[in-house]
Structure 1
Amino acid sequence: MFNGSPFPVDAFPQIIRNAIYEVEQHTQAPQALIAASALGVISLACQNRIDVCRLNNLRGPVSLFLLTLAESGERKSTVDKLLMEPLYQLEENLFEKYTHDLTVWRNDEAIFNIEKKSLMSKLKSEIRRNKDHLATNEKLKVLLASHPKSPVRFKQIFNDATPAAIKDYLCGYWRSVGIMSDEAGTIFNGYTLNELPFINKMWDGAMFPVERKSEPEKLIRDARMTLSLMVQPNIFKGYIKRKGDMAKGIGFFARCLICQPGSTQGNRQITSPVVSTEYLPIFHQRLMKIVNESIARNNENDRLCLRFTVEAEKRWIAFSNNVEYEMGILGRLSNFKDYASKMAENMARIAALLHHFNGDEGDISLLTVEAAVEISTWYVGEYVRLFSKPQEFTLAISEADELYWWINNYCIRLKASWITKNTVLQYGPNKFRNRSKANEVLNTLYSQNRILTEKKGKTVFIAIAGSIF
């Protein structure tokens, strides 16, 4: 059952927000599904044009990994088609051009090989007969220098591809790809995610060596990869059972923005046959401007590095510090430290994408960072909701109740609004005077939003939720 909060669509800049609402009008698909798809498209378009610079000039990619869980019938394919349409058309046009150029190249290559064979034969004959061969030698040099270059295959959207195929492609001319799918069952059950360390390295923007027995070693340098996958929950659960521990252990899930939007099936009533058609073209126009610029400048290796304004950087630091606090023993993210460790970076990436796609000039503003914080926080809530272990043990629940009422009664008796954790350890019920047990139950109460905590120095203060420190 879905119990998540609505996606903060209003946090997006107008050009993105209007496109999402228009797609929702056309499809009546869940807003969060549309928003996740839009973020994937934007990441794919922008990742080869910009990087983001965080604290102390730490430069990194803006690429996002998005996993959206949605049942069959949620109109995933329709949403994907509406948002990605010009990119799919570009891929088709460039493939047709590549096919034509490949035919021309093969003809030129055949002629080249005939000329080369003829000149080499003549050169061998002249050398064998001790004749002057300088003229033939020069002709051969000129011919070899004019060897026809094979056409470049432009492809930025991969669906069901092997890691080897993706690696080979990123070793070539183009260095920016997206693994995109509106029905990612084949990806989760296939080969694409078989090498998660490689996928993780691409999120990091790190160098990756590619070794083949029959070929010299190659290096993937400064490549970018977006992951935007929509998958049915049962398929994802199957993947979790097979490889979930590994995916979590090496940090793949920690890099992902994962959500399971509430279903709109059963509520998709047609109230008006007239829907807006003015905003998607504006979204597409901006999308293709960025993509075409990226293609034209691919060889220049000059990604724009976006920085934060002073106010925006202070907000990013505050967000990062708050995440660090929540990773503490009583924090909401204490059981999700792996995910929390990537939150501030993902937030910075989202901020940079919103800034660039919106066409904003200069440094990333405080307003944009606030929008990124809102979106990131929503995804954190989804991750915690989806990966929290269900409360199966009634004993743990009853212990949480017991400690809660002891804290409540203790505060009432002393007319205090708070107590310290040491008070629990010294004067609480015997079972809670063990530090690890107290931490476990206090953590349960905190996750249930029944208590508040604040750390001052080495002292942890505890209050019943609703009271004031």
Structure 2
Amino acid sequence: MHGERPARQPSWNRASPAPKEASNKHIAPDTVPDLPFEVFSEAVYEVQRNIKSPRELAVCSALAMMSLACQGLYDVRSPLGNIYPLSLAIMAVAGSGSGKSPTLRALSASVFKYQEAILAERGLELTKYKSLHAVWFEILKAHKSNLRRCVKRGEATEEVARLICEHQDKEPSPPLNLLFLNDDVTVQALFQAMNGGLSSAGWISSEASGILKGGAFQHFDKINSVWSGDGVRVGRVSSESYQVLDARLVLCLMIQPSVFESFNEIKGDAARGTGLTSRFLFCRPKSTQGSRITDGSEERWDACERFGDRAVALLKEYVDGRRFGKCTRKAIRLSERASEIWNNTRNQIEKEISEDGAYGWAPDHASKLAENMIRLAAIFHIFEGREGDVSETTMRASIELGYWFSRQFNKVFSPDTMLENDASELHAWIRSNYDKKGERRVDRTYIRRHCPNRLRDSDRLEEIYEKLARDGLIRLVQEGKKGVVILN
């Protein structure tokens, strides 16, 4: 009959639609940009090929060694006339087994060998110094004994006093402390070592969990002061206070996510409020575990050796200069075109600090971003052996890398981004559970117990559920006393 509707087909012949795909925004690729720097790029690629760790870890390790090698010899002068140190502060958040230690080891092996060699040499110098000082001290004791005898006898003391003064001036000086690599130390011990030796040093650790957990990482104001190129004064009650003038300090701390989150929860406000956080270049790479397949061929380390040789050459120039009392650094300048590009970038970042701008939520980070970019440019220029002023190409590449680090900062600290990524990660996990079991309904208690560890906080889960429900990805239902999540 006309107008009749077709009969409904039986529902058992129709497959129900699958749940909406997980967005996986938390693993959206944002790879480190390829940079036009031969020594740096080849070493990073070689580490990535041989160790198969995240490229980000290799980049951070390389930058730490490069900054350490350059900061004692050079500063950079901005187009505005400011003098900036070449010290970088880097923090990489990566889980256990991600390759933090082997990556850093591959790019720092030559530097560590050089450190061991000069410390062994200093050990011999220290033994000789102790012997000479012991002899000097015995002679001083003899002069003082003679002085006391003259006083008791009422004899003239002028000649003995003159000998004592002359002898005081001849006191042997201890050899310079040549320690420039520090790992598990406190801030106080670090500056004390710098006070008696090299004023340029690195605080570098591939397993910095103990540093953050144990409270060694404190006195944020002193770290900030040194990063900015200012001296730091260390006050003491039981012994003499001292000041480390013109200090330079590289920080490269690699930590596990749970440790970082704990630190951020306890000391994050203080670190952010004092400006420490804004000085760091952050990254939180995705693990390569599960994809580190080898072809069995022999690993070659030519590029890393070349990288290490360049770092050692610069460090040796600095150490030898300090041994002979040379303390001045050369200020690197930007070319006219590089200056124009950096200044335009700086102004653009400044505009985005407004409340409605891209950096309205993080003005502290934005205020240090352009400075980090110019530091990176000078480091690449020096380490790659470029002549003259920093070129336009080097400046553009450093700006691109600086913006990449800025996006990483956003992923780590932006409240909206953190919630977006956490929600995406949880949705991906629930969807994977559906793929295995074919079940759309998941008990919320089960989720809290078995979802990714960092998402298991009850309050955080509530925020994530609300976000996913608003996005139409899940429904929340209550079945008696039991809460249930249903995939849409």
Determine if the alignment matches structure 1 residue 120 to structure 2 residue 141: no
Among 330, 344, 347, the residue aligned to 2:370: 344
TM-score where L is the length of structure 2: 0.77
Q: Which residue of 2 aligns with 1:294?
A: 318
Instruction: Say whether the 8 Å CA contact 1:4–1:382 is kept in structure 2.
Output: no
Quote the offset at 1:115 in angstroms.
1.8
Q: Which residue of 1 aligns with 2:127?
A: 103
Determine if the alignment matches structure 1 residue 303 to structure 2 residue 338: no
Determine if the alignment matches structure 1 residue 68 to structure 2 residue 70: no
The one-letter code of the counterpart of 2:233 is P
Unmatched 5+ stretches in structure 1:
395-469
Change (3 A) 1:247 1:134: closer
Structural mapping, 1:37-436, within 5 Å: 37-131=61-155, 136-298=160-322, 299-390=325-416
Instruction: Say whether the 8 Å CA contact 2:110–2:305 is kept in structure 1.
Output: no
Change (3 A) 1:20 1:134: same
The one-letter code of the counterpart of 2:299 is V
Quote the offset at 1:392 in angstroms.
9.9
Quote the offset at 1:257 in angstroms.
0.4
Quote the offset at 1:121 in angstroms.
1.4
Distance in structure 1 (CA, Å) of the matches to 2:90 and 2:419: 33
Quote the offset at 1:322 in angstroms.
1.6
Distance in structure 1 (CA, Å) of the matches to 2:208 and 2:148: 58
Instruction: Say whether the 8 Å CA contact 2:234–2:243 is kept in structure 1.
Output: yes
Determine if the alignment matches structure 1 residue 5 to structure 2 residue 30: yes
Change (3 A) 1:393 1:190: closer
Quote the offset at 1:278 in angstroms.
2.1
Q: Which shifted more, 290-299 or 369-378?
A: 290-299
Instruction: Say whether the 8 Å CA contact 2:179–2:197 is kept in structure 1.
Output: no
Distance in structure 1 (CA, Å) of the matches to 2:109 and 2:419: 49
SS of corresponding position for 2:289: coil
Quote the offset at 1:220 in angstroms.
2.1
The one-letter code of the counterpart of 1:376 is G
SS of corresponding position for 1:330: coil
**Greater Rg over alpha carbons, structure:** 2
Quote the offset at 1:92 in angstroms.
1.7
SS of corresponding position for 2:251: strand
Q: Which residue of 1 aligns with 2:435?
A: none
The one-letter code of the counterpart of 1:283 is F
Distance in structure 1 (CA, Å) of the matches to 2:312 and 2:192: 26
Equivalent residues, number: 394
Change (3 A) 1:120 1:193: same
Quote the offset at 1:138 in angstroms.
4.6
Determine if the alignment matches structure 1 residue 14 to structure 2 residue 38: yes
SS of corresponding position for 1:212: coil
Quote the offset at 1:133 in angstroms.
5.4
Distance in structure 1 (CA, Å) of the matches to 2:110 and 2:419: 52
SS of corresponding position for 2:80: helix
Q: Which shifted more, 371-380 or 90-99?
A: 90-99
Quote the offset at 1:251 in angstroms.
1.1
Change (3 A) 1:313 1:391: closer
Quote the offset at 1:160 in angstroms.
1.8
Distance in structure 1 (CA, Å) of the matches to 2:229 and 2:237: 25
Distance in structure 1 (CA, Å) of the matches to 2:220 and 2:418: 32
